[in-house]
Amino acid sequence: MASFIIELLERECMSNKKYTFVANWKMYFTTHQALSFAQEHQQSFVDLAKNAGHEIILCPSSLELVSIVELFKNTVIHVGSQDCSDYQQGAYTGQVSAVSLNQIGASHAIIGHSERRLYNGETDISIAKKVALLLDNHITPIVCIGEDAVTYQAGATISALEQQLALIIEATNKKYAHKSIYIAYEPVWAIGTGKIPSTRELSEIFNWLNLLRSKFKDISWRFMYGGSVSENTISSFTEIEPLDGFLVGGASLNFQAFKKIVSYH
Ligand code: PGA
């Protein structure tokens, strides 16, 4: 009887938990498609965040950022970018600065995504610089970390993550007390593949990440999972206690699928 009551209380606590859902639209939409998608579902996104009580952050590509920030101005929906420059200002053709992101009202920025590490040569050094620039400009970084298939098969996931986090911790420790940093664990082999890690593997990784909370108490950490999160896989994450949210790629392009994911918890 006592264990039944404890289980009920635990479920009640879980259902009160406020999760974060980041919609990473990548470069799937054209500008016209992104704008019409956001306009068509504007009220539904707002209702979804209010009804579910969770945080929703939409991340369109840079060209649509200003319009979509305007569309959701004074609502509960946050709008973030998919990257930012690792320089403050100057001769950096094609880049967008953290200062500008702040000026247009972006609240968050995804950085270090594995696709940017792969196709745009992002390194742990540039990502740590971006974290500092974003925090200096009052934007919450959503830092992606994750191992590739070879590292996963070699059982070296934690040491790879440790290496990806080391410079970020060094750059933020002490200086950014009371700021928020989101860490999204995204195994590269799980992105867009339909595969996800087992509950045992996720528990090990998120319990390990959770140690940052006690080690670096001044920073407000949020730990998220990304990689093939969909309406079919969302139920697989319920037992991962330190998990605070999800980064959703492909499934965030369909409002009904995204709604099912957000409404699950
Ligand atoms: P996916 O992408 O949900 O399509 O697997 C996640 C991501 O890359 O952020």
User: What is the tens place of the pLDDT at every residue in 78-131?
Assistant: 999 999 999 999 999 999 999 999 999 999 999 999 999 999 999 999 999 999
Secondary structure letter of residue 241 according to DSSP: T
Q: Is 96 in the pocket of ligand 1 (CB under 6 A)?
A: no
Residue 147 Cβ inside 6 Å of ligand 1? The answer reads: no
Distances, alpha carbon 85 to alpha carbons 113, 146, 185, 196, 245, in Å: 13, 21, 22, 31, 25
Does residue 58 line the site of ligand 1, with CB under 6 A? no
Average pLDDT of the segment spanning 170-195: 89
Mean pLDDT of 239-254: 97
Ligand 1 atom 1: residue of nearest CA: 249
Residue 219 alpha carbon to ligand 1 centre in Å: 26
Whether residue 188 has pLDDT greater than 80: yes
Per-residue pLDDT at 215: 85
**Is 69's pLDDT higher than 80?**
yes
Residue 199's pLDDT band, with cuts at 50, 70 and 90, is very high
State in Å: Cα 23 to ligand 1 middle: 9
Residue 14 is predicted with a pLDDT of: 53
Mean pLDDT of 145-162: 97
Q: Residue 20: beta bridge partners?
A: 55, 245
pLDDT over threshold 60, residue 190: yes
Pocket lining: 134 vs ligand 1, CB cutoff 6 Å: no
> H helices within 109-254, ranges in order?
114-119, 124-136, 149-153, 157-172, 199-215
Q: Looking at 12-139, which runs of residues are DSSP E strands?
A: 20-24, 55-59, 78-81, 108-111
SS3 259: helix
Residue 12 pLDDT > 80:
no
What is the Å distance from ligand 1's center to 215 Cα? 29
Average pLDDT over residues 169-185: 85
In the block, residue with structure tokens 């200062």: 99
Residue 13, pLDDT > 50, answer no
pLDDT for the residue numbered 169: 87
Q: How far is CA 231 from the centre of its chain?
A: 17
- C-alpha distances in angstroms, 178 versus 136, 138, 219, 251? 12, 12, 5, 32
Q: Whose CA is nearest to atom 9 of ligand 1?
A: 249
Q: What integer pLDDT is reported at residue 8 of this predicted model?
A: 46
160 pLDDT more than 90: yes
Mean pLDDT of the chain: 93
Nearest-angstrom CA–CA distance, 154 and 15: 36
> Which pLDDT score, from 0 to 100, does residue 15 have?
62
Where residue 242 falls among pLDDT bands split at 50, 70, 90? very high
Helices vs. strands in the chain: H and E counts, helices first: 11, 8
Percentage of the chain exceeding pLDDT 90: 85
pLDDT of residue 11: 47
